[in-house]
Amino acid sequence: MKVGAIIAAAGFGRRMKTDRPKQLLVLQGTPILVHTIRKFDDSNVIDYIIVTAPRESVDEVRNLVNASGFKKSVTVIEGGERRQDSVAIGLQQLQPGTDIVAVHDGVRPFVGVDDIENVVRQAETSGAAILAVPIVDTVKHAKREFVELTLTREHLVLAQTPQVFRTEILKQAFERAQKDEYYGTDESSLVERMGLPVAIVRGSERNIKITRPGDLTLAKAFLAEETAGPKVKS
């Protein structure tokens, strides 16, 4: 089984309120994107990696990749205007014979290597699988700034990445979306609209998406824990 990973990192991240793409912001001296790529470079189930980068940052990202000493092949390509466009471009760059494709956010550097393996194995069996975590807060459906109803929490999950699919399934989903001029919020939504089942694999609350300034504080704490390693019992 040949598995390729597409790391979507072509966005700018205006909610971060910075003049730099958020995936290139630094944590402990290393860009967030490099931390993310390392998780896939360390995974035994991933064979190669494709990174989509903003047009103005392609050379910078390539230089970062070349300087990082990754073991696997990491190809940096120019992404599109939207995330879905970037992933579509990545799909065109998959190596021949790729059976499974995993799509991951470039700003989720704390995904567990075990979680990557688990969701890939599930997709190999079922055809489509995503990481997700249960919702712990009460969720309200709002209309015109008023609560319309309270949603049943036990049927809701928060989708994460990587989202993993058999290659032919994801390509078919993207082809149909392009034909219908449909843009989804994630890859799973494109597969769902074809009526195909998407399996859920329990993820981790640590697998955060670094989107806003406050997320950086939590990310620094998580990274400090990772670099410290397991505590030795006295």
Task: Could you list the beta-strand ranges (E) of the chain.
Answer: 3-8, 26-27, 30-31, 48-53, 73-78, 100-105, 128-134, 140-143, 146-150, 157-166, 199-202
pLDDT at res. 160:
98
DSSP state of 15: G
Query: At residue 78, what are phi and psi to the nearest 5 degrees?
Result: -75, 130
pLDDT at res. 234:
39
pLDDT at res. 227:
83
Q: Can you give the pTM of this predicted structure? A: 0.94
pLDDT at res. 230:
61
Q: Residue ranges per domain, the chain? A: 3-213
Positions of the chain with pLDDT lower than 50, given as ranges = 232-234
pLDDT by residue (tens digit) across 46-104?
Answer: 999 999 999 999 999 999 999 999 999 999 999 999 999 999 999 999 999 999 999 99
Fold classified for 3-213: Spore Coat Polysaccharide Biosynthesis Protein SpsA; Chain A (3.90.550)
